[in-house]
Amino acid sequence: MSQKEQIIIFDTTLRDGEQSPGASMNIEEKVRIAHQLERLNVDVMEAGFPIASDGDFEAVKKIAQTIKGPQIAGLSRANNMDIDRAWEALQFAGERGRIHTFIATSDIHMEHKLKMSEQQVLDTAVAAVQRAAGYTPNVEFSAEDAARTRLPFLAQVIEAAIEAGASTVNIPDTVGYTIPSEYFDIISYLKANVSNIDKAIISVHCHNDLGLSVANSLAAVQAGARQVECTINGIGERAGNCSLEEVVMALRTRHDILPFTHNVKTEQITPSSKLLTTITGIQVQQNKAIVGANAFAHEAGIHQHGMLMNKDTYEIMTPESVGLNASKLVLGKHSGRHAFIDRLKELGYDLNKEEIQKAFVRFKSLADMKKEIFDEDLDAIVADEVLRVTETYKLLQMNVSSGSFASPTATVEMEVEGEVKKTAVMGDGPVDATFKAIKELTGATYPLLNFSVGAITGGTDAQGETSVRLKTEEREVLGQGAHPDIIVASAKAYINALNKIASFAQRMQGDI
Ligand code: KIV
Ligand code: ZN
C-alpha cells in the first residue's frame, strides 16, 4: 500500500479538546496525556496554543522536550508574534515540531471578525506560512471556517499557502455545519482546482455540532484527505470535535470499503479515554460509541443468545481490540504488590516508584474496608493519589455525626498551606456541615454550582465517587473524590476543586 493510503492521525485533545468547558488541564496533566498519546501512537499531537498563556507555552515546550515519537504541533494565528512564540516552544522537538497557523476565509468571518478583504486575508496567510517556513518545513495552514468559504477563494488561498511552503493544508468545518456529501465535494473540488495540491497533505478538522464530525471526516478521506484531526472522547468546543476512537475504529472495522492504514495502537484507546476522563472529570455518555460503558454490553436476550452461538452475530469489533479487557481481575486484601503493579500496567498506567508506593498504600487501606477491588477502584485510587494536582490543601482527618434528631456536625482537620487547622461546624446535612467546615478552614467563598454522588462499582461497600463544581471569576472548576464513605469522598472532591483553583492561580503568577 502506498504512502498516500496512510491516514495521518492528528490528535488535538490538548489544544481544541482543552477548549471544552471545564477541560482545562495544568502542565503536569497535559504531559501525562501526551505520554498516553505517545503510547496510542498518534502521528501528530497538537500540544497547545503557545501565545495563549504562559501556561500553554510551558506545556507545549515541555511536551516538545519530552515526547519522542509523534510530531508535536503548536497553534498560532497568522501573525509574526504568534508564529515566533510557537516556534520558541516547538523548537525542542526538532524536525518533529510543526507550526500550525490559521486564518479565517469565510465571508462571515472576514467581514465581521477579521474586518479584512479577501486580498488582505490571502496576503496575511502567505506571509504567515512564509514566516513559519523560515523555522521549519513542517508547516500546517488552516483556512478557518473553510466549509462555509466560497470555493474559488478557498482554492486560491490553499494554492497560495502551498506555494508559500505549507506541507499540510487543513480544511476545517469550524462550526460543524457541513454534511458528508457536501464535504466530499469540497475536498474533491480542491483536488481538481488547486494546481499544486499534490505537494501537500489535505487535512480535515470537523466539529460535531450536527453530530456529523466522524461521518464528515470519513467522507473527506474518501475524497482524498489524508490527515484527520480529532480528539479523545470527541471532547472540544461546544458539541466537540471528531472523536479519534470512532474514526480509527471505523477505518479498522470497515477496511473493506475504507482501504487505508493508520498507526494507532487501538488497544490503547480505552486507557486513553479513561485517563482523559479522570484528569478532566468530563464523563463519557454511557452509550457513546467505542468508549461508552455500554458500547460492548449486550442486554437483549436474543442478542445474548446470538453472541453465545457466534460472536459475529452482533459484535462488529471485539472489546479487546480497543483495550477493554473482558475479564476484570479482582484484587483483594491478600493481593501482593506484583499483582497490583501488573494490573495497573494492564490498565495503561505508567507510574514511577514513588507513585506506585502511594497508590499501593491506598490500595491496602481500601482493601481493609472493601472485600473486592475492581478495575474502577484502581482507576479512582490512581486518580486520587497520583493524577490530581499538587495539594495546597490536604484533608488530614474528619468525623461527621448525623442522624434524625441532632443537627449534623462535621469536625474536619486539614493542612492549609503547610499549617494544620481544625474546626467543628454544624450544617443542614452532613455534606453541608463538611463543606462549611472546609470553607472556614480555607477561607474559600466560591459558589457551588453542582454536587453529585455516584457509586464506582456495585455493592453496599462500593466506593462513592463525588464531583463538586465551583465557580471562580475566570472559570468553572471540577473537583473529584472517591472513598467508601461518601461524606469523606465529598470532602475530597471539594478540596480537590480548591487545589485546582490554587494551582491555576499559581500558574497565572508564573510559579509553575
Ligand atoms: O475549528 C477550527 O477551525 C480550528 C482551527 C484553528 C484549526 O480549531
Ligand atoms: Zn477546531
Q: Where are the domains of the chain?
A: 3-280, 301-385, 393-508
pLDDT at residue 324, as a whole number: 87
- 342 vs 240, residue with greater confidence: 240
For residue 144, give the ligand 1 atom closest to its CA.
3
H-helix or E-strand spanning residue 161: helix 151-164
Question: ∠465-470-475 over CA atoms, to 5°?
Answer: 125
Instruction: Indicate if the pLDDT at residue 326 is higher than 70.
Output: no
* Same fold for the pair 3-280 and 301-385: no
Ligand with an atom nearest the CA of residue 173: 1
Report the alpha-carbon distance of residue 60 to residue 51 in Å, rounded: 10
Alpha helices in 370-485 (DSSP H): 375-382, 430-442
129 CA from centroid of ligand 2 (Å): 19
Neighbouring residues of 118: CB distance < 8 A, sequence distance ≥ 6: 110, 153
Q: What percent of the chain has pLDDT over 70?
A: 94
207 CA from centroid of ligand 1 (Å): 9
Q: Which of 15, 142, 204, 207 to mutate to test the pocket of ligand 1 (most atoms within 8 A of CB)?
A: 142
Instruction: Indicate if the pLDDT at residue 323 is higher than 60.
Output: yes
414 CA from centroid of ligand 2 (Å): 42
Beta-carbon-side half-sphere exposure of residue 124 (alpha carbons within 13 Å): 23
Does the C-beta of 102 come closer than 6 Å to ligand 1? yes
Q: Which of 12, 16, 149, 242 to mutate to test the pocket of ligand 1 (most atoms within 8 A of CB)?
A: 16
Quickly tell me which residue has 479538546 as its cell: 17
Point out the least confidently predicted range of 151-160, 234-243, 329-338.
Answer: 329-338
Maximal C-alpha separation, the chain: 81
Question: What would the mean pLDDT of 327-337 be, rounded to a whole number?
Answer: 76
- 42 vs 326, residue with greater confidence: 42
Instruction: Indicate if the pLDDT at residue 481 is higher than 70.
Output: yes
Could you tell me the pLDDT band of residue 391, with boundaries at 50, 70 and 90?
Answer: confident
CATH number for the domain whose boundaries are 393-508: 3.30.160.270
Instruction: Indicate if the pLDDT at residue 109 is higher than 90.
Output: yes
Could you tell me the pLDDT band of residue 512, with boundaries at 50, 70 and 90?
Answer: very low
Could you tell me the pLDDT band of residue 334, with boundaries at 50, 70 and 90?
Answer: confident
Q: What percent of the chain has pLDDT over 90?
A: 67
Could you tell me the pLDDT band of residue 510, with boundaries at 50, 70 and 90?
Answer: very low
Nearest CA residue ID for atom 2, ligand 1? 174
pLDDT at residue 4, as a whole number: 53
Instruction: Indicate if the pLDDT at residue 507 is higher than 80.
Output: no
For residue 172, give the ligand 1 atom closest to its CA.
3
Pairing of strands 393-401, 168-173: unpaired
Question: What would the mean pLDDT of 257-281 be, rounded to a whole number?
Answer: 93
Question: What would the mean pLDDT of 85-111 be, rounded to a whole number?
Answer: 98
Q: Which CATH superfamily is domain 3-280 in?
A: Aldolase class I (3.20.20.70)
Mean pLDDT of the chain: 91
Query: What are the beta bridge partners of residue 178?
Result: none
Instruction: Indicate if the pLDDT at residue 370 is higher than 50.
Output: yes
- 59 vs 391, residue with greater confidence: 59
Report the alpha-carbon distance of residue 43 to residue 227 in Å, rounded: 9
Nearest CA residue ID for atom 1, ligand 1? 174
- 368 vs 456, residue with greater confidence: 368
Could you tell me the pLDDT band of residue 19, with boundaries at 50, 70 and 90?
Answer: confident
Report the alpha-carbon distance of residue 499 to residue 46 in Å, rounded: 27
pLDDT at residue 110, as a whole number: 98
296 Cα distance to chain centroid: 22
DSSP secondary structure letters along 165-212: T-SEEEEEETTS---HHHHHHHHHHHHHH-TTGGGSEEEEEEB-TTS-
Q: Are 396 and 376 in contact (CB under 8 A)?
A: no
Q: Which of 77, 154, 205, 237 to mutate to test the pocket of ligand 1 (most atoms within 8 A of CB)?
A: 205
421 CA from centroid of ligand 1 (Å): 47
For residue 170, give the ligand 1 atom closest to its CA.
7
Does the C-beta of 70 come closer than 6 Å to ligand 1? no
pLDDT at residue 457, as a whole number: 66
Q: Are 276 and 244 in contact (CB under 8 A)?
A: no
Question: ∠473-475-481 over CA atoms, to 5°?
Answer: 120
Could you tell me the pLDDT band of residue 509, with boundaries at 50, 70 and 90?
Answer: low
Q: Are 45 and 75 in contact (CB under 8 A)?
A: no
Q: Which amino acid is at 382?
A: V
Point out the least confidently predicted range of 107-116, 275-284, 367-376, 499-508.
Answer: 499-508
Does the C-beta of 174 come closer than 6 Å to ligand 1? yes
Ligand with an atom nearest the CA of residue 149: 1
Question: What would the mean pLDDT of 407-423 be, rounded to a whole number?
Answer: 95
H-helix or E-strand spanning residue 218: helix 213-223
320 CA from centroid of ligand 1 (Å): 33
Question: What would the mean pLDDT of 412-436 be, rounded to a whole number?
Answer: 95
Tell me the residues surrounding ligand 2 (ion) with CB < 5 Å. Answer: 16
316 CA from centroid of ligand 2 (Å): 30
Work out whether the CA dihedral 279, 280, 286, 292 comes out positive or negative. negative
Instruction: Indicate if the pLDDT at residue 328 is higher than 70.
Output: no
- 173 vs 308, residue with greater confidence: 173
Q: Are 143 and 149 in contact (CB under 8 A)?
A: yes
CATH top class, domain 301-385: mainly alpha
Nearest CA residue ID for atom 5, ligand 1? 144
Query: What are the beta bridge partners of residue 172?
Result: 205
Could you tell me the pLDDT band of residue 313, with boundaries at 50, 70 and 90?
Answer: confident
Question: What would the mean pLDDT of 213-227 be, rounded to a whole number?
Answer: 98
pLDDT tens, residue by residue, 176-193? 999 999 999 999 999 999
Query: What are the beta bridge partners of residue 28?
Result: none
Could you tell me the pLDDT band of residue 460, with boundaries at 50, 70 and 90?
Answer: confident
Q: Are 105 and 153 in contact (CB under 8 A)?
A: yes
Q: Are 181 and 219 in contact (CB under 8 A)?
A: yes
145 CA from centroid of ligand 2 (Å): 9
For residue 241, give the ligand 1 atom closest to its CA.
1
Question: What would the mean pLDDT of 94-120 be, rounded to a whole number?
Answer: 98
For residue 75, give the ligand 1 atom closest to its CA.
6
Neighbouring residues of 143: CB distance < 8 A, sequence distance ≥ 6: 102, 103, 104, 105, 125, 149, 154, 157, 158, 161, 169, 170, 171, 172
pLDDT at residue 301, as a whole number: 65
For residue 16, give the ligand 1 atom closest to its CA.
8
Question: What would the mean pLDDT of 361-370 be, rounded to a whole number?
Answer: 87
274 Cα distance to chain centroid: 10
Quickly tell me which residue has 463538586 as its cell: 468
Report the alpha-carbon distance of residue 137 to residue 129 in Å, rounded: 10
Q: C-alpha dihedral over 502, 504, 505, 511, to 10 degrees?
A: 100
Point out the least confidently predicted range of 19-33, 54-68, 141-155.
Answer: 19-33
Give the three cell numbers for residue 307: 453472541
Instruction: Indicate if the pLDDT at residue 1 is higher than 50.
Output: no
For residue 142, give the ligand 1 atom closest to its CA.
7
Quickly tell me which residue has 493519589 as its cell: 385
